[in-house]
């Protein structure tokens, strides 16, 4: 099964248990990181997910998964590309905030309680 979490992470594993609150137990779990047309899988083992953090739960069609145009890369490579992408996003955000301040506009603060 594929599980998309509220913080944007994607988990893939075997669903072992679920309850009325959508709490999940995943076995042989990997965290899949996508950057552009590349992806990498980080092994996580047994993973317990609290139901309030589940955005999407779906079964993976193995036949269609093999037809994906994405290229699998090593863990180190995908983590480095993710870091570069996040840095670029932060720089872009800084420029946006600076441009708004120059125009006399205030930038609304992000609610930090929702970030994990």
End-to-end CA distance of the chain: 23
Residue 3 has pLDDT above 70, yes or no: yes
- What is the CA angle 8-11-12, rounded to 5? 150
Domain definitions of the chain by residue range: 2-103
What is the rounded distance in angstroms from the CA atom of residue 26 to the CA atom of residue 11? 9
Q: Say if residues 50 and 83 touch (Cβ distance below 8 Å).
A: no
pLDDT of residue 74: 87
Q: Say if residues 24 and 74 touch (Cβ distance below 8 Å).
A: no
For residues 71 and 111, which has the higher predicted lDDT (pLDDT)?
71
Phi-psi map region of 89: left, alpha, beta (phi>0 left; psi -120 to 50 alpha): alpha
pLDDT of residue 87: 93
What average pLDDT does the chain have? 87
Q: Which CATH fold topology does 2-103 show?
A: SH3 type barrels. (2.30.30)
What is the rounded distance in angstroms from the CA atom of residue 28 to the CA atom of residue 11? 10
In this prediction, residues 77-82 reach a mean pLDDT of: 88
What percent of the chain has a predicted confidence (pLDDT) above 90?
49
Residue 115 has pLDDT above 60, yes or no: no
In this prediction, residues 67-82 reach a mean pLDDT of: 86
């Amino acid at each position: 099964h594929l599980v998309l979490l509220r913080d944007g992470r994607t988990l893939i594993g075997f669903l072992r248990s679920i309850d009325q609150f959508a709490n999940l137990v995943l076995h042989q779990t990997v965290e899949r990181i996508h950057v552009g047309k590349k992806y990498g899988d980080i092994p996580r083992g047994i993973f317990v997910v609290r139901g309030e953090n589940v955005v999407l739960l779906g079964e993976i069609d193995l036949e269609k998964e093999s037809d994906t145009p994405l290229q699998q890369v090593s863990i180190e490579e995908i983590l480095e590309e993710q870091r570069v992408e996040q840095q670029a996003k932060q720089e872009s955000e800084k420029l946006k905030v600076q441009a708004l301040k120059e125009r006399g506009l205030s930038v609304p603060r992000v609610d930090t309680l929702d970030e994990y």
